[in-house]
């Protein structure tokens, strides 16, 4: 064989080893020639849809033939690791919140906390449900604008806004939720230069502990977020803002944390915020257009776990809200901005088993995802349910270990799981929030693809990263 021919065959073999089956087809642009038919069972008519496969996994029936066939189909067509989102679940979660609060709060406006999942397709689905967009960065503002969301339906709540982000928000009519007196001064100067008036609210810190994970507990006094109600900092900020020529104060904002599973913290915070609104009216003559109580509605991450529902939260908030507005003398619009609740249950991270290793201490199931793909377990010690796709063989106690060169790269620790074989699939549940949004290219591993399932239809909504992407912004100085 000629040297060039041998080299060509060699690189074909390497490509077959390093690129997951179907991965190239998950990229944008033309794909390669069709691959051979997959050695998997294709769902027969009536066996079920891809949506059914996802729900079977949630119900701990990953050994069901429809679940096996569905996940094998997804892995074959799009490769692994793969983020999968279920359209029906996203819409259903949004409707739960709308119905629960709409029945008790006639003056209501809902936003989606886009940081939870910034995929345009996901944001678009929630926009179609009538939600505004709560954003944390200029990039998220631009994403919302690309979807056609008008500025007044975008809320910008970062605690550290860069000058270009402030200018972008002002040019587009976005409402700025301010976190400090320095930000207020910067907004006034920029608005004056642009010849416009900034619509603003202030984020206040109520000093309430909602008893959630420390890193996402934002309502406590030591948090970096908000102007403290205690001590008068928040009142002083409103007083100063009312004296400025290019600022219009329209609202009041409070967000006490994420993954909150009990309404008590919300009720305490709402009571404090409503009382502060009364102070603003009595001392400054300010009547607010809205009061934003933030988001943070939690979900059950464990099998059999019972947590607060949107209906529970709405019922708990209604009495304190009615009491507060009675004392206030008027009713502002209630704003809410959930994120995780809408998208987490809709998301699945599909990963392939590379190897299984038993040491004198424990068994490791090594997969092709890592904390570069899903960082929550490593960052927050967060728990995600795991299902091994296939027959429930001999169960072993094992760690689901990632492919990152870190001892802490454990996606699930000490789980009783069916012992898989190399090449088998596992799926991580409730991965729709803070999954891809927090993913990285650490260890020079390209980003995963994302797909959206609608019944038995599936579409790529973000193509799989390629090795070349790792170097797209890098340069070697020419003088070297």
CA-wise closest residue to 123 among 149, 97, 86:
149
Same domain, 305 and 349: no
- Contact residues for 211 (Cβ-Cβ < 8 A; gap 6+): 217, 260, 262, 265
Of 277, 312, 338, which residue constitutes the final position of a domain?
338
Mean pLDDT score, 378-386: 94
Residue 189, Cβ density class (10 Å: 0-12 exposed, 13-18 middle, ≥19 buried): middle
Same domain, 109 and 57: no
Same domain, 440 and 373: yes
Could you give the 3-state DSSP secondary structure of residue 132? strand
- pTM recorded for the entire structure: 0.88
Share of the chain above pLDDT 70, in %: 86
CATH number of residue 75's parent domain: 2.40.37.10
**What does the CA dihedral 244, 250, 252, 257 come to, rounded to 10 degrees?**
-110
- Output the pLDDT for position 47: 67
- Candidate ranges 223-227, 383-387, 391-395; pick with highest mean pLDDT: 383-387
Same domain, 300 and 411: no
Q: Which two tokens stand for residue 188?
A: 């006034």
Of 316, 338, 360, which residue constitutes the final position of a domain?
338
Same domain, 232 and 380: no
Of 313, 338, 363, which residue constitutes the final position of a domain?
338
Q: Which two tokens stand for residue 223?
A: 């948090």
Could you give the 3-state DSSP secondary structure of residue 210? coil
User: Which helix (H) or strand (E) is 333 found in, with range?
Assistant: strand 333-336
Could you give the 3-state DSSP secondary structure of residue 272? helix
Q: Which two tokens stand for residue 167?
A: 């200018």
Distance CA 30, CA 25 (A): 8
Beta bridge partners of 82: 350, 449
Same domain, 354 and 222: no
Task: Tell me 463's DSSP state.
Answer: P
Q: 54-90 burial, b if ≥16 CB within 10 A, otherwise e?
A: bbbbbeeebbbebbbbbbbbbbbbbbbbbbbbbbebb
Sign of the alpha-carbon dihedral angle for 210, 215, 221, 225 = negative
Distances 165 to 117, 118, 155, 176, 279 between C-alpha atoms, Å = 20, 17, 12, 10, 31
Same domain, 75 and 131: no
Could you give the 3-state DSSP secondary structure of residue 315? helix
Mean pLDDT score, 258-266: 82
Domain assignment present for residue 324? The answer is yes
CATH number of residue 270's parent domain: 3.20.20.10
How confident is residue 15, by pLDDT bands cut at 50, 70 and 90? very low
Q: Look at residue 33 and tell me whether its pLDDT is greater than 90.
A: no
The region of weakest confidence among 214-228, 382-396, 438-452 is 214-228
Distances 49 to 44, 74, 243, 335 between C-alpha atoms, Å = 10, 12, 60, 37
Per annotation, catalytic residue among 405, 414, 468, 475: 405
Domain assignment present for residue 2? The answer is no
Distance CA 346, CA 348 (A): 7
- Output the pLDDT for position 49: 96
Distance CA 180, CA 440 (A): 30
Same domain, 301 and 157: yes
How confident is residue 70, by pLDDT bands cut at 50, 70 and 90? very high
Domain count, the chain: 2
Domain region containing 102 = 88-338
Distance CA 279, CA 91 (A): 39
Same domain, 109 and 186: yes
**Through-space distance between the first and last CA atoms of the chain, rounded to whole angstroms:** 39
Helix, strand, coil proportions of the chain in percent (round to 5)? 40, 20, 40
Residue 254 annotated among the catalytic residues of the structure: no
Q: How many residues does the chain have?
A: 480
Domain assignment present for residue 28? The answer is yes
Same domain, 279 and 410: no
How confident is residue 154, by pLDDT bands cut at 50, 70 and 90? very high
Same domain, 405 and 307: no
- Output the pLDDT for position 22: 46
Same domain, 279 and 399: no
Distance CA 450, CA 436 (A): 8
Q: Look at residue 438 and tell me whether its pLDDT is greater than 90.
A: yes
Domain assignment present for residue 16? The answer is no
Number of H-type helices and E-type strands within the chain: 13, 18
Domain assignment present for residue 351? The answer is yes
Domain assignment present for residue 9? The answer is no
Q: Which two tokens stand for residue 353?
A: 């088993």
Sign of the alpha-carbon dihedral angle for 43, 46, 49, 52 = negative
- Output the pLDDT for position 313: 95
Domain assignment present for residue 172? The answer is yes
Domain assignment present for residue 108? The answer is yes
Residue with tokens 């980003």: 447
Q: Look at residue 40 and tell me whether its pLDDT is greater than 50.
A: no
- Output the pLDDT for position 24: 42
Q: Look at residue 188 and tell me whether its pLDDT is greater than 50.
A: yes
Distances 427 to 43, 58, 109, 381, 462 between C-alpha atoms, Å = 19, 10, 35, 18, 19
Q: Are 370 and 364 in contact (CB under 8 A)?
A: no
Q: Look at residue 467 and tell me whether its pLDDT is greater than 90.
A: yes
pLDDT tens per residue, range 282-328? 999 999 999 999 988 999 999 999 999 999 999 999 999 999 999 99
Q: Which two tokens stand for residue 64?
A: 């069901």
Residue with tokens 């009061």: 291
Q: What is the DSSP string of 229-256?
A: STTSHHHHHHHHHTT-SSEEEEEEE---
Sign of the alpha-carbon dihedral angle for 222, 224, 229, 232 = positive
Range list of β-strands (E), 51-157: 82-86, 108-113, 132-135, 154-156
């Amino acid at each position: 064989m000629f040297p060039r021919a041998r080299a060509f065959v060699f690189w074909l073999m390497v490509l077959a080893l390093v690129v997951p089956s179907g991965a190239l087809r998950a990229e944008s642009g033309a794909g390669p020639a069709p691959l051979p038919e997959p050695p998997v069972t294709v769902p027969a008519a009536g066996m079920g849809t891809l949506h059914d496969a996802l729900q079977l996994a949630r119900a701990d029936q990953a050994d069901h033939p429809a679940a096996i066939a569905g996940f094998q189909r997804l892995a074959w067509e799009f490769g692994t690791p793969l983020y999968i989102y279920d359209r029906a679940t996203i819409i259903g979660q949004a409707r739960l919140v709308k119905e629960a609060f709409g029945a008790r709060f006639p003056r209501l406006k809902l936003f989606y906390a886009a940081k939870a999942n910034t995929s345009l397709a996901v944001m678009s689905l929630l926009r179609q449900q009538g939600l505004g967009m709560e954003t944390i960065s200029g990039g998220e503002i631009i994403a919302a604008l690309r979807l056609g969301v008008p500025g007044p339906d975008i809320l910008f709540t970062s605690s550290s806004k860069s000058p270009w982000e402030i200018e972008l928000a002002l040019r587009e009519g976005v409402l700025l939720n301010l976190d400090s007196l320095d930000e207020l001064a910067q907004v006034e100067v920029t608005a004056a230069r642009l010849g416009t008036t900034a619509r603003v609210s202030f984020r206040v810190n109520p000093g309430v502990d909602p008893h959630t994970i420390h890193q996402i507990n934002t309502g406590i006094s030591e948090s970096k977020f908000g102007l403290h109600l205690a001590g008068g900092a928040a009142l002083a900020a409103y007083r100063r803002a009312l004296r400025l020529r290019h600022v219009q104060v329209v609202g009041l904002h409070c967000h006490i944390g994420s993954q909150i599973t009990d309404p008590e913290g919300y009720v305490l915070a709402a009571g404090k915020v409503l009382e502060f609104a009364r102070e603003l009216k009595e001392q400054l003559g300010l009547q607010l257009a809205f009061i934003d109580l933030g988001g943070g509605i939690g979900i059950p991450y464990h099998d059999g776990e019972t947590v607060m529902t949107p209906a529970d939260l709405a019922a708990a908030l209604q009495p304190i809200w009615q009491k507060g507005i009675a004392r206030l003398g008027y009713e502002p619009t209630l704003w809410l901005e959930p994120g995780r609740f809408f998208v987490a249950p809709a998301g699945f991270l599909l990963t392939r088993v590379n190897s299984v290793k038993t040491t004198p201490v424990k068994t490791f199931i090594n997969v092709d995802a890592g904390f570069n793909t899903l960082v929550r377990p490593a960052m927050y010690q967060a728990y995600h349910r795991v299902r091994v796709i296939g027959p429930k063989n001999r169960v072993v106690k094992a760690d689901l270990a990632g492919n990152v060169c870190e001892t802490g790269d454990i996606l699930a620790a000490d789980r009783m799981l069916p012992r898989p074989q190399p090449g088998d699939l596992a799926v991580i549940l409730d991965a729709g929030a803070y999954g891809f949004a927090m993913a990285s290219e650490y260890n020079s591993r390209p980003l995963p693809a994302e797909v959206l399932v609608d019944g038995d239809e599936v579409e790529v909504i973000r193509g799989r990263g390629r090795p070349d992407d790792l170097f797209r912004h890098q340069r070697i100085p020419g003088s070297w």
